[in-house]
Every structure is written in C-alpha cells, then in structure tokens.
Structure 1
Amino acid sequence: MNKFFSVLCLILLFGFNTVEAQNYSPHKVKEGETIESIAKKYLVTPSDIYSLNPDAKKELRINSVLIIPKSKLPEPKITIVKELEGFKKHRTKKKETLFGLAKRYEITVEDLKKYNKFLYENPLRKGDKLQIPIFKITEVEEPNGLTKTYTVLPKEGKWRIAYKFGITVKELEELNPEMGAVLQEGAILNVPNIEDDEEKEVDEKYSYYKVLPKEGFYRLKIKLELEQAELEALNPILKEGGLKAGMVLKIPYSDLADEVTEFNVESVNLTDSIVDFNTKHLVVMLPFRLNRVDFDSIPDIKKSIEKDPYLNASLDFHSGVLMAIDSLKTLGISLKVDVYDTKNELSEVKDIIDENDFENVDAVIGPLIVKNFEEAASELRKYNTPVVAPIGTKLKLYENVFQSRPSNNLLKKKIVNFVKTDTLATNIIIISDTENETVSKDLKKEFFHARQIRSRKDKEGVDKYFVSKEDIQDELKPGKNIVFLETQDGGFASNVTSILASLIQKENKEEEKEAIEIMLVTTNINSAFEGDEINNTHLSKLQFHFTTISKTYNENDNNAFVKKYNKIYNVTPNNRAVKGFDLTMDVVLRLVSSEDLYMSADKALLTEYVENKFAYKQKLFGGYYNNTVYLVKYDDLTIVEVK
C-alpha cells in the first residue's frame, strides 16, 4: 500500500511540474468554491478552465484538482492610499535618528519632515518635540480587465442584466456589493468584461426560467417539456459551462413558465423612493348596491348589510382603502379619490365610465366582480388607464390589467419547488383521497420515487376518507420524510395528521431505534386544515408547510395599521380590509415612485405590506399578474413565514 501511495505522489508531482513548465498551475477545489470564483482568483475566464477540465461542466467536486492556464491579463496593480487620521507626540531622545523613528512608527522620513517642517533646515536634536502622523492605510486594486462598467437602462432589473452578461443574480450582486434592491436608470454597475456582440438581449417573445438547486436536464425535461438539445440551442452557454442553479434560461414562450418563474428578490420600501408629489387621481369601483339598503333606521341598515354579501365585502375593503389614503397623506402625497357604486351591474359600469372623465385617471382599483372588472378594463383600454383587480385569477389580461391575486398554479409550484430543494429529505409520501387522485398523479410525476397512499374505500368503491396507522407506517423511512396531504375533507385531514404526529420517533440507541422525522405539506390549503376537527398541536409537531396568497399578521408585532384600525372601528381588521389597505398603498406608492404604474411593474419590484406582497410580471402581448406568494409553516402553534 505504501508503495502504491509513493508512486501516486510521484505521478502527481511529475504531472504538476510538467503543468508548471507549460505555464499551467494546479488548483485543489475547496468547499464553497465555484468555477466563477476560481476563474476570478486566477484572472482567467470560466471558458479557459472548462477547455482544460471538461468534466468540471458536469460536476465540481471538492478536493478534485483542476488545471488552470496562465492568465493573459497582467497582475492587478495595488495602490497604497494613506489617509491622515491624526498625530502622536514624541520627544526625541539621545541617539535617535529620523531613519530610526520612521521605521519605529512605520512611516517615511519624508512623512516626518512634511509634518515637522523645521527638519528640512535643521538636524534632529535631543528634546525636539515632533508630530508623528497617524495614517489609515488602504490598498486599492486597479481594474484587472475582468470587469467593465455598465449603465442601467430604463425598465432593467437585476435578472435582465444578469441574463445579458451570462451570470446569476447572486454573482451580479457580488460584483456590486453596494447595489440596492431596486436598480435606478443610469446607475453604474460592474459586469463581466465580454464583447458587445456576446451580450444577450431579453426577447419578450420568449419566457425565461430560473434554474433551481439540484435541477438537471432530466427534471427540466419533465417540467418544461424541452430536451437538452433544445435548451442548449436557445442557451449556447449550456454547452460551455453546463447547467447550474440560479442561471436564467431562455425558453419558448409559455404561460406555465411565466407563472412558475418566481425571482427571489428582497422587498423594497417605496416610501423611501417618492419622487413625484403631483396630485394623483385614483378611482375605486365597488358593488355597494346602496340602492338596496333600507335607510329607515339603524337596525334596518345593519340588517341590509348582514343580508347583502356584496355590500359587506365592499364596506370592509373600502375601510382599508380609507386607512391607506390617510396614511399616504401623512407621507405628503396628494390624492384625488373618486369612489363609485357599480351596483354589481354591467350597465352601471358602462354609465360610470361614459359619464365621467377617465382620461386623466392614474389608476382604477376594482370592480370586485370579474365580469364587471373585465368590462371596465375593456372600456378603459382606449385611455390606457391601468385597472387593478383586487380578486380573481383567471381574468382576461388586457394590456391595462393588473391581476393582484397570484394564480393557484403558482401556489402549487412554490411548495413543489421548496420540497425539491430540501437536501435532507430521504423519503417523499403522497397521501390523497379519491377527489384528489389527479393531484396525486401530478405530484408523482414531479417526485417519481415518491410512495402513494390513498384513502380506504368500502366494498362498493365509495371513499371512506381514512387510512390506518399501518398504511403510513409501512412507507416511512429513517431520516426526514416529507408527506404531501391532498384533501378537502376535514375528517380525513384530522385522521392523517393525528397518525403522522404519533409516528414521529426520536433516536434511541439503547433500543436500536433510528430517528424518524416527518414534515407535512400540501399544495392546496383549505378549510380541511383550518376547521374544528384538525388539531393545531399536530400541525405544529409536523412543521406543516403550505403556500398562501397572504400571510396573517401577528398581533404581537404591534402593527401600526392594525392598532389604528382597531381604534377607529373598534374591531380587528379582516382580510378584506387588510387587502384594501395593502393594495391601495401599493398602487399609489408605485405611482409616486415611478413614471406610472406600467414603469413600476417593468422594474420587477417586490413590495410588501401588512399581509400581502406584490411583484408584477407582464404576460406576452397582455397585462400584468402578481408573481409572488408566501411560503409559511406552523411553528409552536403560530404560523410564520419561511424565508
């Protein structure tokens, strides 16, 4: 064995010496390193490394040895910059010299003379009082040619620039550590120094997909229905550098791809970006149906509100709008707000638009009902007036439409992608009832190694909405098990969660028991998980994860909006009131921080308020849809966001 080891060492040594002689050097890959970081270290390009190490395209292994070519660029020049911070007093002693003092205080003789000018004419003497300069020393590295500067164009966000220069958003941020969350037109950024004809332009006729961790060509084939050759044809960089997490791929236009491509950006506070203090004209359309309210007495009014769900919903939403208007005024924003009662009638919507001036309206919020909303959006296209939908996910996305409610498909894909990125999961189980058989089959396509469990049926084939402990126990494995539960039946949800909670097992070496961890997830959060039958303690124990269009605010957070709402209305705001507040705040703040609502959406800003967040993306030849949702979990009986 020692002999073989010695021979191996000689081979490696000989090989390395040969490499050095040919202007190459070896590099042993360390944990956390990427081809890009190694290329930057040696002042070469990733292509240079791949040309000598083709296997690195497939996988970069820790402790593997790469052959690195000699850089064609000159070594970076380091400039020493000295900044005077103050002085230290010194009285000279016998036999001290200028050279000795300079060496002692790590300065130059010229520095001593500069701040003690009498030394230019007189020699140093015992008892002289000197000022010893204290410097802050910094090293400035001059540009090495690997990067160049780039001026941000109108409508450009981080992912567009990253795609243009063939890097990930994370790499762009590393090149520009001072870059904020929002790119401003005209800002100067550092980007890779590639030729102009190598820069890639974002073509709106295509969709763009961000590669997730651990996604290979096989998974992309299943998800995007594209072969490796097709992806490489659209993205030549794949042939050179291979597939890696975080890169943005151009793919044929697809509604599905648009819905599932959610770029991870930090939310911005638009109150810090207000640039336009001109009065904004806002219109709110809601189906109050006041013509049906009995105004004879207060009890009659209350009865009308209780009986009419449209009036009830409109009043809740409008109360949030009023709170937002008040908050916006405190920021110095001037608003003209018109509120119209659509009466939930198409004819009334048409009359409102025909009889009022909408040409100079900056934005319209509502109507609530889909058919009325689409009528308003269609009528207002001639003025290019943006119309924002508070509800609805399958709207006709005219070019002036903003769909604020994220799609159900995005909710599903968010939780699926979250599970895919969990590197600790050893086993995936899908539990469903008969009504969710299709969902179970779709999940099986995403996780082809997953085990499926279906609810029991009687002799006639009727679903009984239960499983036994043995059904689940037989499919569990030591380690981390992720369980999808797909149902709308509260009894079935209670049955499964109670069994799962009982099967969690801690490691016991004495009894030779391995740990069994269980995390519960679902693609469709519904009343089955929120009713009286379900035990929240079980959900907390199972770290229940799900996606949602809005997160419930925490009353312990001392939220200013909630406190003020409670003070005015003597009641805690419900989700409709919060949506009215959040949506109005977002629409107006986008108007006063950009040229208009369209320009704000094109910047790909992510904004977040009390319970809702917004990140609009434009559909090809159409309007805008909200492309962001929350991932939350049960944590000690409290629902918290998973960052």
Structure 2
Amino acid sequence: MRKIIVTALIALSFLGCSSLQGQDYSTHKVTSGETLESISKHYKVSVPAILGLNPDARKGLKSNTVLIIPKEGTLISSPIRNVAVVNEVEKFISHKVKRKETLYSLSKTYNIPQAEIKKYNTFLYANNLRKGDELQIPVLKKVAETVGGEEGRTNTNVETEKNTSETTNTYVVQPKEGKWRIAYKYDITVKELEDLNPGLPEILQPGETIKVPNLKTKAIKNVDEKYSYYTVLPKEGFYRLKVKTGLDQAVLEQLNPGLAETGLKEGMVLKVPYDRSLAAENNSESIPMPGNELLSTNLASQLGVNKAGVKEIAIMLPFRLHKMDVDTADTKELIKNDKTLSISLDFYSGALIALDSLKKLGANLKVTVFDTKNMHSELLSILDNNNFKNTDAVIGPLMPKNFNTVASALRNDTVAVVSPITKTVTLGSNVFQSRASDADLEKAIIHHFKNQPATNFVFVSDQKHRAKSNTLKTEFIGASSVSSRNDKKTGKDAFYIFDQDIIKALKPGKNVVFLETDNSGFISNVTSILNSLNDSDKREITLATSGQNKPFEADIVSNYHLSNLKFTYPAVSKVVNEDENNSFVRTYEKQYGLTPNAYVVRGFDVTMDVALRLLTSDDLYLSVNDAPLTKHVESKFSYKKKLFGGYFNDAVYIVNYNNLKIEEVKQ
C-alpha cells in the first residue's frame, strides 16, 4: 500500500525523544533509467535519507513516480530510529474539475494538502488546473512508521487518526495590510480568507495572527505597487469589469495567470494596470465603512490620528419639531405632505448611519444638531445664542437664503459651511458647495462625447431650449439640429417632431442625439421615433442630454426606449443597484426596513466625507489638497478653490441606461 510522508521526521533515540527538527523538501519526478544512486548524487543526499521519506521506493523506481527529497546535506544517521508520521492511501475518489474550482478549494473540500493532489495528478506540476480536468483524489489516514537501522528497514508501528493534514499556516498581519492584500498574496478570495478565520474583524490590526493557506514561499504572490488591485463584486462578469476598468477578458487573464482556468469569483482580487482611483482604494483598505467597502482615499488609514483633538460638527436642518407630536396622524400627514421636512428627515437618517459607523471605529467627533424650523428668525436666534468659534464645519442649512446667512455670520471665524443639496448659494470664502453646478454637468458630458471617433451629432430641442441646444451644438463640428414644431393655429410650441425631421439628420454608423427639453410629452415623442430608427446593422443611436430632469422619469416615457438608446447623461450621483450588495444599503434596510432614497444616501455621503476630511486633516480647507478626490456610496467630491471665493465640487458622474439599469460609465 502506498504511503506518503507529509511532516518532518521526529528523531527518537533509544534513550528518549529529541527535539522536533523542521526540514525543507522538494519533489522529483522519476524518469526512465534513473536509480536511487543517481538521484542521491544529483541532490547530494544519502540513499537512506531518500528511502526514509519514500518507503515505496524500496520496491523499485517507476517512471513518473514522484519522490519527496530532503534538502541538500540532510543525513539520517543509522543508529537512530526515526518515527515518521505518514499518510496511508485508503482509496481514490474521481473528481471532475468544475468552473471556479482551484487547488486551494479542492484541498479544503477534501481536507488534503495541495501537494498531495499534485502528486497523484502529475500533470499539475506543469499545467494550471482547468475546468473539466479529471483528478484522482487520495483519501488518506495517518499512521506512525519507524524508520531506522543501517539498512533502512521500516516497521509500521502505530495506527492513528484519520487525515487532518495541515493545509494552513499562521500569518502575522503587517501594518496597513487589509483582507484583500492578504487574499491576493495567497491566491484566495476574501471570502475564503474569512472562512479560514471565523470571526475575523473587518479591520485587521498589525501583529494580529491569522490562518492562511500553507503555500511554499515561492508560491506566495507579491503585491506590486506599480499596479492597482480590484476585488470582484457579487455577480460581476467580464463585461462589467470591462465597463469599469476598460480591460477585456484577454488582458485580465494575461495579468492574472490562472484566471482563464478558474473564471471570476466573488471576492477574487485581480491585478490591473495602475489607476489612480483604484490605487487610492487600495491605500484605504484598513477602514471599511457602510457603503465604502474600501474608502476611496487614504483618509481611512489615518482615522483616529486626530491632529487637533475633538473635531466639532454642527448640522442645521429644518425639522420643525415644534409642529410635531410623535406617532400622531397629523405628524405622519405633515411628513408626507411637507417636502422640505421629508428631505430633512431622510438626509438626517443617512447622516446618523455615517456618524454611528465612525463612532464604532473610535472617531473623535462632537456633533450638535440644530432645528432651524425653516424660519429665518429661528436661525438668527441659533447664531446669537451659540458659540461656533470652535466648530470645524457646519453642514446645512438646506434653504439657500438660510445657508447664505449662516455662511456670512461665520466667515470671520473661518468656520467651513457645507451646502449639502442646493446649488444656488453664494460662494463665500468659507463655503463648500458639495453639489456640482449645471455648468460642470454640461462640461462633463461634452468632454465625454467630444473625442469619440466617427460619430454624428444631432441636437433636438423644444423652442424653450433652442438657444441652449445651439450653444452645445457649437462644441461638435458638423453637428445638425432639429427643433420641435409649432402649432399652426396658435404658433406655440406643439412639442413634437415627425420621423422625417430626424431621419434626414441621422447618418449610417454611430449617432449621438442630444435631447434638450423639460417636457415629458416631447421626450416620449422623440424617444419613440429614435427607438424605431435604431438599427444596429445600419445606424447606432445613443440618446444623451446635458442635464437629466424629472420629465425623463415620467410614466409616459418608456424606460425600454431609454435603455435601448443607452440614454447617457451627467449626474451629481450614481445609482446603487440592488445586485451590488452595498453594505450601507444593507445597514439602512436592517435599521429602517426601507430601501434608502437619494436624500438618505446624500446625507450619508456628505456627512461621511466632511467627517473623514476633518479627522485626517487639520481642517476642511487643507483637506482639499490632502484628499483631492473622495468617493462614497453614490457621490464623489473633488473640491476646487474659486479665485476670491470659496470651494466648489466639480466631480461628476457620467451614467447611462443599460439593460433597464442606470450604471456609471467608466471614463
């Protein structure tokens, strides 16, 4: 019966037990004509040493047999008997490799070292594991065997337990090292690392000891800082990765040997060409947040290194608590009908989750919430009766007039005031406008399409937006325009066009049609016509606009048409889709039993961003340079300084409809 030695020999003298000696081993595949003596000379080890590790070799060597060879210079002295722990093969199990299976996952499934799988499937020494490979998996049990005597006689001694072969090793977490980095090093997914270490905390601490696969040193990957690394999300395929990274399947497989055989797996860490935003995520791996599986700047790595003690934040929102009686029908009706109150409550619920997440991580924050009651007089009272000199940042108020009042009152104390939602505020020197302007949105969509080769541009508008449409048209050489027709009787805009109006402007090949309007009926008319003309064999039509508005979401407008036309537009925020399994969404749904709306997510993003900037910089002003770009659940922030003014966020997403979902278009 075949026997395999899998652990270091335990030397026992006749008088007692000596200390455990760890040894390094290599393997050798026997070729025709080789003998024990020739192998012994080649590796510079004694024949008894080889026999001690390969008892079956006494019966003769056969081609393709794999021997375990002790390291050079290892001698097994004849006066000492050695008890070797060996694994005895009871039987073999046939296994056909399935998609996404790896040697590691098979070793875990069958509780057997990867080396043993390779030994009985020798083609794996030269080839990667592939889907469809037929493997022979040995079922092992441990026995103890005495190896000794000048002639190297062996005596099977004591039977012991079923196989519990060591498939893992211990690993000491290094500074700034997170789960993805360790998973990449040991060629496993983040989920597999977590399975190896039940109860593993989200934040790994330097010096912490964890379990990792038992790999040879040369098999452990190095993290090359010249590249970026991306963790595969649930249900993410090569198509979505190409959209996100611009890399097709062949390039990803070339960068990641073995990917072609295993396919993509959730939690798998892929090496990709250096990307600034991904590199920033890699640097922030140690502090995961709800909605930020990896924070997108190095803010997180500094969390808790508060340079100036407690950071103070004030939040000003128009709750109008004086009009509420909790849980009464009138209050519920008030919340339902008062849009400002509803927005405030939604924004605040998102902010609370951000603050709670930071609190759990030990962030040194003092937060004060003020109810402005949506009354200017109340706001003045708050400013008069409270000292804001030590306040690092104020989030709000929502209303432009109230916001400008607060910003002006606190300007001399250089207190940063952040406008969370509105875009029409006075940009004083202490103002942070967190929402991108319409001009930034237009600039982003023009930049997105301007350099696309061999594209015909058409600008369609109603009479109200004709001037704007013509201005946009000047950015694209050779573009044409189409305007809505007027009512023959009244002369007013009739908000429709005919098929022929647009057909004459389209050309074979790629066409981008900008639609500038805020009339849902006109949107329905134009998208219906474009959808009927969208023939991929003759012409490809993409619908775009410089500023998406509510009429595009009206019931009369077909989402199927928008999706077929790959409707593309600039946005201050992207949309988190249900299949993304976002941790902020999970947290909110668990706490409130509802899916968070846009204002909830905005509350989380703005509050999280302000808090992290304060925690990692001396103040919000310096954070503009310390953290030039930050990303959270749906929003990103890149503040620029206006000459003789405050700070504005010009970070814009380009999104489109794709398979009835709104997705970010990777630039």
**Cα distance in 2, alignment partners of residues 386 and 273 from structure 1:** 21
User: Is 1:393 matched up with 2:423?
Assistant: yes
Question: How big is the shift at 1:347?
Answer: 2.5
Cα displacement string for residues 278-323 of structure 1 (whole angstroms, at most 9, x for unaligned residues): 322111111111222356x622321232343332222111111111
Q: Report what 1:520 is aligned to.
A: 543
User: Is 1:558 matched up with 2:581?
Assistant: yes
* Counterpart code for 2:349: S
User: Is 1:572 matched up with 2:595?
Assistant: yes
Question: How big is the shift at 1:614?
Answer: 0.7
After TM superposition, list the pairs within 5 Å mapping 1:72-471 onto structure 2: 178=226, 267-268=296-297, 270-274=299-303, 276-277=305-306, 278-294=309-325, 298-425=328-455, 427-459=456-488, 460-471=490-501
Cα displacement string for residues 486-541 of structure 1 (whole angstroms, at most 9, x for unaligned residues): 1111111111111111112243xxxxxxx211111111211221111111111111
Contact 2:515 2:545 in 1 (8 A): yes
The 1:367–1:88 alpha-carbon spacing in structure 2 relative to 1, beyond 3 Å, is: closer
Give every structure 1 segment of 4 or more consecutive aligned residues whose post-TM-superposition deviation is greater than 4 Å: 86-89, 176-181
Question: How big is the shift at 1:334?
Answer: 2.3
Unaligned stretches of 5+ residues in structure 2:
1-23, 28-41, 44-70, 74-223, 230-294
**Cα distance in 1, alignment partners of residues 647 and 608 from structure 2:** 18
**Cα distance in 2, alignment partners of residues 504 and 585 from structure 1:** 43
**Cα distance in 2, alignment partners of residues 588 and 604 from structure 1:** 13
* Counterpart code for 1:638: K
* Counterpart code for 1:298: T
User: Could you say what secondary structure the match of 2:350 adopts?
Assistant: helix
Contact 2:513 2:544 in 1 (8 A): yes
* Counterpart code for 2:394: V
Contact 2:347 2:602 in 1 (8 A): yes
* Counterpart code for 2:318: P
Contact 1:543 1:633 in 2 (8 A): yes
User: Could you say what secondary structure the match of 2:643 adopts?
Assistant: coil
**Cα distance in 2, alignment partners of residues 394 and 536 from structure 1:** 31
The 1:384–1:87 alpha-carbon spacing in structure 2 relative to 1, beyond 3 Å, is: same
Contact 1:267 1:605 in 2 (8 A): no
Cα displacement string for residues 205-258 of structure 1 (whole angstroms, at most 9, x for unaligned residues): xxxxxxxxxxxxxxxxxxxxxxxxxxxxxxxxxxxxxxxxxxxxxxxxxxxxxx
| Percentage identity across paired residues of the two chains | 48
Per mean C-alpha deviation after superposition, the further-off stretch among 351-360 and 320-329 is 351-360
Cα displacement string for residues 34-92 of structure 1 (whole angstroms, at most 9, x for unaligned residues): xxxxxxxxxxxxxxxxxxxxxxxxxxxxxxxxxxxxxxxxxxxxxxxxxxxx9999xxx
Q: Report what 2:629 is aligned to.
A: 606
Q: Report what 1:120 is aligned to.
A: none
**Cα distance in 1, alignment partners of residues 551 and 350 from structure 2:** 29
Cα displacement string for residues 146-197 of structure 1 (whole angstroms, at most 9, x for unaligned residues): xxxxxxxxxxxxxxxxxxxxxxxxxxxxxx975999xxxxxxxxxxxxxxxx
Contact 1:269 1:607 in 2 (8 A): no
* Counterpart code for 2:427: L
Question: How big is the shift at 1:269?
Answer: 5.3
Question: How big is the shift at 1:430?
Answer: 0.8
Contact 2:465 2:517 in 1 (8 A): yes
**Cα distance in 1, alignment partners of residues 539 and 415 from structure 2:** 56
Contact 1:275 1:594 in 2 (8 A): no
**Cα distance in 2, alignment partners of residues 434 and 312 from structure 1:** 35
Contact 2:613 2:627 in 1 (8 A): no
User: Could you say what secondary structure the match of 1:291 adopts?
Assistant: helix
2:606 to 570, 574, 583: 583
**Cα distance in 1, alignment partners of residues 396 and 649 from structure 2:** 15
Q: Report what 2:617 is aligned to.
A: 594
The 1:269–1:469 alpha-carbon spacing in structure 2 relative to 1, beyond 3 Å, is: farther
User: Is 1:497 matched up with 2:520?
Assistant: no
User: Could you say what secondary structure the match of 1:339 adopts?
Assistant: strand
CA RMSD of aligned residues (A): 2.7
**Cα distance in 2, alignment partners of residues 553 and 88 from structure 1:** 50
The 1:457–1:300 alpha-carbon spacing in structure 2 relative to 1, beyond 3 Å, is: closer
User: Could you say what secondary structure the match of 1:435 adopts?
Assistant: coil
TM-score in terms of structure 2 length: 0.55
Question: How big is the shift at 1:395?
Answer: 1.5
1:536 to 549, 555, 559: 559
User: Could you say what secondary structure the match of 2:566 adopts?
Assistant: coil
Contact 2:304 2:362 in 1 (8 A): no
Give the count of matched residue pairs: 386
The 1:399–1:270 alpha-carbon spacing in structure 2 relative to 1, beyond 3 Å, is: same
**Cα distance in 2, alignment partners of residues 604 and 434 from structure 1:** 43
